[in-house]
Amino acid sequence: MRHIDVHTHLMPQCLWKTVDGGDDWYGMRLESGDGLGFVAGNGKRIFINSPKLRFTPEERIVNMDEEGTDVQVVSIHTPLFPYHWEKGLAIQMSKDVNDEIAGMAKQHPSRFSGLATLPLQDVDASIEELERAVKVLGLKGAEFDMVVNGKTWDEPEFLPLFKAAESMGALLFFHPQPQENLVALERTRKYGLSNSIGVPLEDAILVATLIYGGILEKCPNLRVIVAHGGGPACFGMGRMDHAWKVRSEARANIPKPPSRYQSQLYYDFLTSSEASLRFLINAVGADHVVIGSDWPFVGWDPSPGGWLESLTSLSTEEKEKISFRNLEQMLGI
Partner 1 sequence: MRSIDVHAHVTPQCYWRATEGGGEWHGMRREQDARGREVMISGSSRGQLPPRASWTPEQRLADMDSLGVDVQVLSPYAGFYNYELPTATAKATSVDCNDEINQMTTTWPDRFASLGTLPMQDPAAAIAELERIMVQLKFKGAMIDDKINGKMLDEPEYLPFWKAAEQLGALILFHQGGDTVVSPRIKKYHLPNSIGNLADRTLTFASLVFGGVMDACPDLKICFSHGGGYTCYGIGRIDRGWQGIPEANRLNPNPPSTYLRRFYYDSIVYTEEALRFLIDQVGVDRVVFGSDWPYDMAQDWPVSWIMEMESITQEEKDAILWKNLEGLLGI
Indicate the burial class of 290 (C-beta count within 10 angstroms; 0-12, 13-18, 19 or more): buried
Handedness of CA 244, 249, 254, 255 (dihedral sign): positive
Taking contact as CB under 8 A, which single stretch among the options 53-61, 93-101, 170-178, 196-204 is the one that binds partner 1?
196-204
Interface residue with partner 1 among 56, 272, 313, 315 (CB under 8 A) is 272
Shortest reach from residue 246's CB to partner 1, in Å? 4
Give the residue with the Cβ less far from partner 1, 141 or 257: 257
CB nearer partner 1, residue 61 or residue 216: 216
Mark residue 270 as left, alpha or beta (left: phi above 0; alpha: psi -120 to 50; beta: remaining): beta
Task: Give the residues across from 114 on adjacent strands.
Answer: 74
3-state secondary structure of 148: strand
Residue 232 within binding range of partner 1, rule CB under 8 A: yes
Q: Does 212 interact with partner 1 (rule: CB under 8 A)?
A: yes
- C-beta closer to partner 1: residue 98 or 179: 179
Query: What letter does residue 24 receive in the DSSP assignment?
Result: -
Total residues belonging to the chain? 333
Q: Is residue 190 near partner 1 by the rule CB under 8 A?
A: yes
Choose which of 116, 237, 281, 333 interacts with partner 1 (CB under 8 A): 237
- Write down the least CB distance from residue 160 to partner 1, Å: 20
Query: Which C-beta is closer to partner 1: that of 110 or that of 191?
Result: 191
What mask, x for binding partner 1 by CB under 8 A, covers residues 146 to 165?
-x----x-x-----------
Helices 159-168 and 123-131 pack at an angle, to 10 degrees, of 10
- Separation of CA 228 from chain center: 9
Per DSSP, which regions of 70-217 are E strands? 71-76, 112-116, 141-144, 171-174
Q: What is the DSSP letter of 117?
A: -
For the CB of residue 230, give the shortest distance to partner 1 in the complex, in Å. Answer: 11
Q: How many CB atoms lie within 10 A of CB 218?
A: 14
By CB under 8 A, residue 282 contacts partner 1:
yes
Contact 321, 308 (CB under 8 A): no
The residue count for binding partner 1 (CB under 8 A) is 50
- Report the distance separating Cα 306 and Cα 309, nearest Å: 5
Q: Tell me if the bond preceding 176 is cis, omega within 30° of 0.
A: no
Instruction: Give yes or no for residue 307 binding partner 1 (CB under 8 A).
Output: no
Which of 41, 213, 257, 304 is the binder for partner 1 (CB under 8 A)? 213
Given 14, 125, 127, 197, the residue binding partner 1 (CB under 8 A)? 197
Give the CA distances from residue 44 to residues 29, 77, 189, in Å, rounded to whole numbers and listed in that order.
Answer: 11, 13, 17
Q: Using CB under 8 A, which of 32, 110, 273, 312 touches partner 1?
A: 273
Among 23, 239, 302, 315, interactor with partner 1 by CB under 8 A:
239
Q: What residues line the site for partner 1 (CB under 8 A)?
A: 147, 152, 154, 183-184, 186-188, 190-193, 195-197, 199-201, 204-205, 208-209, 212-213, 228, 231-232, 235-243, 246-247, 249-250, 252, 271-273, 275-276, 279, 282-283, 298
